Amino acid sequence: MPSYRYGAVIPFFALHLAAAGVLVWERWTATALTWLIGSYFFRMFFVTAGYHRYFSHRSYRLGRIPQFLMAWMAQASAQKGVLWWAAHHRTHHRKSDQEGDIHSPRLAGLWWSHAGWVISNKHDDFESGSVKDFARFPELVWISKHHWIPTVAFGAAVAAIGGWTGFLWGYVLGTVALYHGTFTINSLAHTWGTRRFATKDDSRNNPILALITLGEGWHNNHHFFPSSCRQGYRWWEVDITYYLLKLLSFVGIARDVRSARTLSS
**147-167, pLDDT tens digit by residue?**
999 999 999 999 999 999 999
In this prediction, residue 127 has a pLDDT band, given cuts at 50, 70 and 90, of confident
pLDDT digits (tens, 9 = 90+) for 70-116: 999 999 999 999 999 999 999 999 999 999 899 999 999 999 999 99
What average pLDDT does range 224-253 have in this prediction?
A: 97
Instruction: Spell out the residues 6+ positions from residue 174 whose beta carbon is closer than 8 angstroms to its own.
Output: 35, 36, 39, 40, 43
Question: What does the pLDDT look like over 180-201, one tens digit per residue?
Answer: 999 999 999 999 999 999 999 9
Determine the pLDDT at residue 6: 56
**Torsion angle, alpha carbons of 103, 105, 107, 112, to 10:** 60
CA atoms 12, 18, 24, 26: torsion sign? negative
Per-residue pLDDT at 1 = 45
Predicted TM-score (pTM) of the model is 0.94
Amino acid identity at 23: L
Distance CA 118, CA 132 (A): 22
Percent pLDDT > 70 in the chain is 95
Yes or no: say if 202 and 113 are a contact pair by the CB < 8 Å rule.
Answer: no
Neighbours of 212 (CB within 10 A): 18
Please, which residues have CB within 8 angstroms of residue 167's CB and are 6 or more apart in sequence?
A: 155, 158, 159
